[in-house]
Structure 1
């Protein structure tokens, strides 16, 4: 129930939803003077959230700084969060990636460079599965095809959200006999915009991690006319990601997950 409530709150609080509600409300409001003001507020809200410069600046401010690979120490294991494959299309002979494939490809790069010796991939089918594949198994298959020995991959394929990623990963590590009294740290790999919530969940689960943010949505700042003035649907996508993450942080704190 909590998961669906979180999704519903995310829908209600999205910038596009807010703008459309204001525009529709203003259009049908009986008091025409007040209705025009509400309609104007909706249009201005839509213009603000469709500005690419403002959206990109906000995303850059939120996302964690990129970490040079050369500066990383070596880790026994990297923990990779899913949420990057296309589970809306059923296929069994390949892995279909969405935006966020950096989580899988950069983890593979770190493994190939010797920065991490083993990979733990965590993630199931999400809330509304349309096919029997799990994300963890799909990414495991991708890594194996890329040359990673299957014995170097741990698969946790039940988690439906970030909180469960942390809890189920700890259970899996305990099952294989990990010594929690050691000073070993894991390298947590997920999208930069998502790292704060992911890190908080793994800290709550008492899994010691360093972070390696990937999959950046923010771009280098451009002082150009199109960037500053033209409405851009990509700006709405950036705000959607930010609002969804902020609501996720709020609901996780309310639920005691972090």
Structure 2
């Protein structure tokens, strides 16, 4: 038994010696994981909707202006009519209201609380129909993404939109936000559509993992085979085994095509 030198040359010779085996096992690993991802994993579909959370809407601003005007004793009829028209605004889209940075910061903070509120609401939990729900804030803004994941793409989209309507409210039903907060509002920015492709599994990634795994396994096996191989291949091996220098070697003429005939002569 002699020790092998694990040099770059050693590993290159190992790879070249078992190159076909390494390529074959790498391809087998990729094909197996590809088949597994396609036929043995249930695909999941995700549908997304977006809502905007505001702690201060046009209706709130109009109410404040009307209160200030009343306190200042506004008596002009036209001014009173303008105040009344602004007070009747029903959403943040109605009327011209200046938006301050403090309003945006407060709305962003409110959106964080709403994320926790909506995730843990019992009524929303009962609407999920077996879907997985995720509510995330868009880059610390007052926009919220509502994501539904299901094995059925239509179920994911329908459930997502139903939850959005539950939060924002409809013409016939008050929204969850309005039931809890006396000011501000939540409005749907984007409703979910039926996804056309699955989000899990990622077949390409699975195939890539299989190729990498097959390559790693083939290299490990090749390395182990080299370790257990104790056959003498060249004069360096003899020197490592017996510590005696080799001064010459007998050629194997049968392995040299042209030299064989010369040897027979």
Task: Check whether TM > 0.5.
Answer: no
The TM-score, its normalising length taken from structure 1, stands at 0.22
Compare CA radii of gyration and give the structure with the larger one: 2
The TM-score, its normalising length taken from structure 2, stands at 0.21
